[in-house]
Copies of this chain bind each other. A is one copy, B any other.
Amino acid sequence: MSIGLKNKHIISMRDLDRSDLDLLVETAGAIEEGRIKPDMAGRIAALLFFEPSTRTSFSFDSAMKRMGGETLLMKGTGSTSVQKGESFSDTLRTIERYCDIIVMRHAVEGAARFASEVVGLPVVNAGDGANQHPTQALLDLYSIKKTHGTLEKLKIGLVGDLRFGRTVHSLAQALAPYNPEFYFISPGFLEMPEHIKAELTAGGVKYTELKEVDSVVPELDIMYVTRVQRERFADPEDYERLKGSYIITLDTIKDAKEGMRILHPLPRVDEIAEEVDASPHAYYFEQAENGVYMRQAILSILTGAVK
């Protein structure tokens, strides 16, 4: 295990090496299939959602409770001692006395890293602003593994807003060790950032950049769709003109390989047409369920309930 799991934290995908990723993906699978049944009875996870997110908190809450564990839930900062002038560090050092592991979502970049340095418990980053959301990338990895039986040498299209979407950045980093071939499909000004591309190039990862999705669909094993927000376009007419390239319909995927699967971190707005939901290619709700298994793996490994 590398810095991440060895230190009993999951803060950034950068802390996790390939052996960590393999361990997490395998454990999630073993839990889903019932080969491992972690017993978290008497263990408590504090779910500190300084920034609210029902979906993510439900997923962690469910993961803990499926294993017989319990949670303490904090939403927002309204009723906390923060109002009385307490430092963030004191808040964390008090809460660690009530639980076994801390899961934290915070609007400020680096908040989870700070927490991991202040407390003596494992800390899981459930999203820190625009920075990292590593458990999303991990459940994406597990979803890809489940659908293709391997993570190796897959052709993966990332579609939509690749500039501001932290999800696709983390996922690109997560997949890098597995010899992927990436297709980055976005409007010109929502391209994958240079620093991510440089990192991939340094690691020997191939990628192709495109402005529309149709031509590449027959190549793909995975199509990972994120939302292109209308507000990102300086000229709304650009959006109206372009959106056809970034809204996935049954027509878009008519030439897809049989095993191609569409993933989406959810919530979606209109970037995948509802008609696609009934297609065998649609996988985004299963993906949400996979999040529970991955978070069970994370919580049980970090607390030592699974060795």
Question: Which chain A residues have a beta carbon within 8 Å of chain B's beta carbons?
Answer: 41-42, 44, 46, 52-55, 58-59, 61-62, 65-66, 68, 70, 72, 74-75, 78-81, 84-87, 90-91, 93-95, 97-99, 266-269, 274, 285-286, 288-289, 291-292
Are A84 and B289 in contact, with the CB atoms below 8 A? no
Find the residue from A74, A75, A90, A285 having the highest chain B CB count within 10 A.
Answer: A90
11 A-B pairs in the complex with CB atoms less than 8 angstroms apart: A42-B65, A58-B72, A61-B72, A62-B72, A65-B70, A65-B72, A81-B266, A85-B267, A86-B268, A90-B266, A98-B292
A95 to B66, CA, bound (A): 15
Of B62, B79, B98, the contact of A62 (CB 8 Å cutoff): B98
Question: Within 8 Å CB of A74, what residues of B?
Answer: 54, 58
Are B52 and A86 in contact, with the CB atoms below 8 A? no
Question: Within 8 Å CB of A286, what residues of B?
Answer: 97
Question: Within 8 Å CB of A62, what residues of B?
Answer: 44, 72, 98-99
A171 to B130, CA, bound (A): 46
- Please state the number of chain copies in the assembly: 3
Question: Within 8 Å CB of A54, what residues of B?
Answer: 74, 79-81
Question: Within 8 Å CB of A98, what residues of B?
Answer: 58-59, 61-62, 288-289, 292
Are A97 and B65 in contact, with the CB atoms below 8 A? no
A98 to B294, CA, bound (A): 13
Of B68, B85, B86, B269, the contact of A85 (CB 8 Å cutoff): B269
- A65 with B86, Cβ < 8 A, contacts A54-B79, A97-B289, A288-B94 known: no
Are B53 and A65 in contact, with the CB atoms below 8 A? no
Question: Within 8 Å CB of A267, what residues of B?
Answer: 81, 84-86, 90-91, 94
A46 to B79, CA, bound (A): 18
Which residue on B lies nearest to A61, using beta carbons?
A: B72
Question: Within 8 Å CB of A292, what residues of B?
Answer: 97-98
Which residue on B lies nearest to A70, using beta carbons?
A: B65
Which residue on B lies nearest to A77, using beta carbons?
A: B54
A234 to B98, CA, bound (A): 39
Of B53, B85, B91, B268, the contact of A90 (CB 8 Å cutoff): B268
Are A66 and B42 in contact, with the CB atoms below 8 A? yes
Which residue on B lies nearest to A81, using beta carbons?
A: B267
Are A58 and B95 in contact, with the CB atoms below 8 A? yes
CB distance from A206 to the nearest CB of B (A): 33
Are A269 and B97 in contact, with the CB atoms below 8 A? no
Question: Within 8 Å CB of A85, what residues of B?
Answer: 267, 269
Which 4 pairs across A and B sit closest by C-beta, in order of nearness?
A52-B79, A86-B267, A97-B289, A81-B267
A81 to B86, CA, bound (A): 31
